[in-house]
Structure 1
């Protein structure tokens, strides 16, 4: 066994608590990053829809799908 292996029930409990806290922090960080990326993607899609609509207007093409609405 390695020197840092839990040797008592309290050591094991402390180790498990620390591990769970670490996992929770990592999960929250990943969740925050995913939410931020999804928000960015939504903004990019809205901008793309507006740009396509503007291009269609400039080209004289009627927008029957109401892009952006």
Structure 2
């Protein structure tokens, strides 16, 4: 049993294992950063679309009020 523990400790400290773990973590972090950037871009696009829709709605309401002869300052 002590031999297995000793082998594990020596293998886990192996520079190749450390390098593999470092590479894995770096890749995982890059994937997470890419996913967050993608989500952020989608949110910004949706906010911009919503802003455009609100602008269009305000314009349409103003046009309807003008057509109805309602003063906008009421």
Aligned residues: 59
The Cα RMSD (Å) is 1.3
Structure 2 counterpart SS, 1:63: coil
> Could you say which residue in structure 1 is the equivalent of 2:25?
16
> Could you say which residue in structure 1 is the equivalent of 2:59?
50
Following superposition, the deviation at residue 11 of structure 1 comes to: 1.1
Gaps in structure 1 of 5+ consecutive residues? 1-6
Question: How far does the alpha carbon of each residue in 1:20-40 deviate from its partner, in whole angstroms, 9 at most, with x for none?
Answer: 000011011111111111111
C-alpha distance in 2, partners of 1:64/1:48? 17
With a CA cutoff of 8 Å and minimum separation of 6, indicate the structure with the bigger relative contact order. Answer: 1
- Runs of 4+ more than 4 Å apart: none
Larger radius of gyration: 2
Structure with more helix by fraction = 2
Structure 2 counterpart SS, 1:42: helix
